[in-house]
Structure formats: C-alpha cells, structure tokens
Structure 1
Amino acid sequence: MPTPITDPVQLPPAFEKAMNSGKLDEVLSLLAPGVVMRTVTGETVTRQTLRDYAAGSIAGNAQLCNGPSRVVAGDDIAFISEEWTLEVTGPDGNRKKATGTSAHVARRGQDGGWRMAILNPLGTAA
C-alpha cells in the first residue's frame, strides 16, 4: 500500500499517476471509505461501482491529465477543483476524450492520510 497522502494538494497528481500507470489498487487507496461519485451522466455511484469504472478506464488505457489544482482545506476536510482531460479507448475500440472542471471533497482519515470522499468530475456543470 502506498504511503498516505499528507497534503490534499497531492491528491490530484497521485490519482493521475495511479490511473495512468494502470494501478487500480493505488487508485482505490486514494478513496475514502464510503466514497461517492457523481458520474458525467448524473448518476451517483458508490465505491464498488467506482472501482468498476476505474478498472474499465484502466483497461481502456486511460490517460488522465489534471491541470493546476485549487485547494481550500480546513482541519480534516478539503475542497479540490481542477481542469482535467481523460482519453480512453471504449468497448468499440474508438478513442474518446472528455474534459471538465471538477469539484471534489477530500477528508483526512485517522491515519492522517487524505483521501477523496466525494468525486464530482463535472463540478457545477452537471
């Protein structure tokens, strides 16, 4: 298991690196227990479905690129936003590209490590 993230600013680059290198366990280690995500279609999914999405993206040779992050952190909670681009090969074999501006919430766990608790890749646009 990777070393816990000690600064929420480190979460987006760590997530990008884990996804792009195809390391599903590392991606999952960056997610808090009880994590939820609002998908680009507006559906809210929990950890198991999020795991399946990440595995599918990795299988499709996902390439995630996060722009500079904006982070506002309090004691044990942080708001994180950044522009992102994701390219992935779909089941039909065609490469697809999506972009957005995220609005995520991270929280610090009992081990002092920061993890994503709420993922909203389209921010207020969705």
Structure 2
Amino acid sequence: MSVPVTDPAQLPPAFEKALNSGNLDEVLDLFAPGAVMRTVTGETVTGQALRDYTAGSIAGNAHLSNGPSRVVAGGDIALLSEEWTMEITTPDGHRRKATGTTANVARRSPDGTWRMAVLNPLGTA
C-alpha cells in the first residue's frame, strides 16, 4: 500500500486513484485477505478470480469516478457507500459507461490499516 489507509473514508478515493493509475498491485493491496466482490454482471469473485477481474478492468483502461462517501464504522468494521461512474473499453473495443451505488464492507487489519473485505458495486440492486 503506497499510503496506509488509516480511516475507512479514505478507501474509496484510494481505490479510485489506484485503479485509474492502472496499478494492479496497489488496487489489490486495498483488499483484505479473502476479499470478495460481486461484479457488475452479478458474478461473485474472490482470490485469483478477483485478481483477474481487476486486471481486466485495468486492461480495459477503466476510469472510475466516485461521488461523496457515506461511512458507518463500528469497531473494526465499516459500511461504505458512494455513487460511482466507470468508463471502460470492452474486449470488442467499445467504450462503455456504467453507474451504481456501492454497499461495501471494510475491515481494520491488526496493523491499524483499513482494507475492503466485501465489494458490492451495485449495492442493493
């Protein structure tokens, strides 16, 4: 992690910056061990599949824009929600735009840093 995330509200802008810079390792470092993501297609990915999905987003020149975050934290767990827009080039070469509202769960690590444990970019949709 290039800059330790010590406040869960810092996670969405850190994720946006890392993804937009195309830095796969920096994005993955924001994930807690065993993190799981529900993709925009409804698939659930973790482990190598999460890495591959993230790498595919970077390969598609993804550009993420997050709106203001809402954070509710209690102890070592936080619920984060924000509106987002992402533009990405699909494998067929078309540029696509998607939007949503997240419902993500972050967890504080023993070292005091926060990482994403559950990523749900479509929230309750």
- 1:1-126 to structure 2, matched below 5 A, reads 1-125=1-125
- 1:7 is displaced (CA, Å) by 0.1
- Matched letter for residue 40 of structure 1: V
Match of 1:124, SS state, is coil
Counterpart CA distance in 1 for 2:17 and 2:2 is 12
Structure 1 CA distance for aligned equivalents of residues 62 and 39 of structure 2: 16
Q: Secondary structure at the match of 1:123?
A: coil
Partners of 1:65 and 1:3 lie apart in 2 by 20
RMSD: 0.8
Give the C-alpha shift of residue 69 in structure 1. 0.3
CA distance in 1, matches of 2:91, 2:50: 18
Distance 2:61 2:41 in 1: 21
Give how far 1:40 is off.
1.7
Provide the TM-score with structure 1 as the length reference: 0.96
Write the deviation string for residues 12-67 of structure 1: whole angstroms up to 9, x where unpaired.
00000000000000000000001001112222111211111111111111100000
**How many residues are matched?**
125
Give the 3-state SS of the residue equivalent to 2:124 in structure 1. Answer: helix
Residue identity opposite 2:76 in structure 1:
D
Q: Match of 1:48, SS? A: helix
Q: Which runs of 5+ in 1 are unaligned?
A: none
Percent identical: 78
5+ unaligned residues in a row in structure 2: which ranges?
none
- Hey, what's the Cα distance between the residues in 2 that align with 1:88 and 1:42? 17
